[in-house]
Amino acid sequence: MLKDFKQFLVRGNAVDLAIAVVIGVAFAAVITALVQDLLTPLIAAIVGKPDFSNLTFTIHRSVFKYGAFLNASLSFVLVAAAIFFFVIRPLNAFTQRMRREPTPDPTTRKCPDCLSEIPIGARRCAYCTSEVRAPA
């Protein structure tokens, strides 16, 4: 039984999952710090109140603490915005740049009959032997 447990731990999926969790926790700490230390004070400078948790209203002696909900909602929106603008957009731009099609080789061209690659100065295709006009 101990041997099976050791084999389970060493297997790639468990190790990959453990690494993903550790990186996720570290990333969450960075995003939380970004929101709490940069974005929330920026909003507080504009609006004038960084903490809404004390906001309440009362109906028939029941106290509704809508400020905590407002704080959580604002935090969620700020975290989502931080992830979108600082992770998703740059990552999408990077992957799009990496997917660009390679530029065609200027020393070759396609044969109009068989569509094989032939040297740009060729007058006859080496594959289908058809005559090819010189490029203009």
Give how far Cα 41 sits from Cα of 23, 27, 49, 73, 75, Å. Answer: 26, 21, 9, 16, 12
pLDDT at 107: 86
Q: Is it the case that residue 10 has pLDDT exceeding 80?
A: no
Predicted TM-score (pTM) of this structure = 0.48
Could you give phi then psi for residue 113, rounded to 5 degrees?
-90, -50
Q: Is it the case that residue 5 has pLDDT exceeding 80?
A: no
Is residue 120 a contact partner of residue 111, using CB atoms and an 8 Å limit? no
Domain extents for the chain?
2-98, 104-136
Q: Is it the case that residue 130 has pLDDT exceeding 80?
A: yes
pLDDT tens digits, one per residue of 38-95 = 777 787 788 776 667 778 889 999 988 888 788 788 778 877 888 888 888 998 898 8
Strands of the chain, DSSP E:
57-59, 62-64, 108-110, 117-119
2-98 CATH:
1.10.1200.120
